[in-house]
Amino acid sequence: MKLILTRHGETVDNVKGILQGHNPGELTEKGIEQAKKLALKLKEEKIDVIYSSDLKRAADTAKEILKLQPNTPIFFVKELREGNCGGFTGKKESEIDWGKKPNDAESMGNMQQRINSFLTSIYEKYKDKTVLFVGHNGINKSLVTVIDHLPANDLPKIIHMAQASISIFDIEDEKKYKTQLLNSIDHLE
């Protein structure tokens, strides 16, 4: 399976430095342009199916891609949502005490388990296909920990996933992955 992974475009809250978590998020004009450039870059790919987070910022990015992939089935799913930030949701990142994580926030272990289970189910359905995931920084980084066989707590060590970036992985079976491209934003320049 060829897995193409991308992140939503820039949002109003990204610009303000606000942690969004499960909030829907609204793309900025720049974010919409990023999504359009992303769609143009992926236009020549034969994408068999698109799975997007159901949060508005990712769904709106996926809909831009769909405009140039009109015959591709698309599904909006909670499994690709950003991590639940609990009490940190809606707060400025600069004002957060990262040492005091709220009890209602999703753990890195839970995020990794969530994305691993989802990836396994998608692989079983689309072994010989090309699949596109439209997600968020945190959940995409969690997916990289799965692909690289890293513990969940290594998530903060993974490179920040740029807005509208593209990563591509070849998956031979549930345990064999090869990274073709990671966090590319060449199409945005």
Catalytic residues: 8, 82
Cα–Cα distance list, 186 to 34, 35, 37 (Å) = 11, 13, 10
What are the distances in angstroms from CA 24 to CA 62, 89, 125, 135, 167? 14, 11, 28, 12, 23
Q: Please give the DSSP secondary-structure letter assigned to residue 136.
A: -
Burial (0-12, 13-18, 19+ Cβ within 10 Å), 142:
buried
The three-state secondary structure class of 161 is coil
Tokens read off for 165: 């970036």
Query: Could you give the 3-state DSSP secondary structure of residue 36?
Result: helix
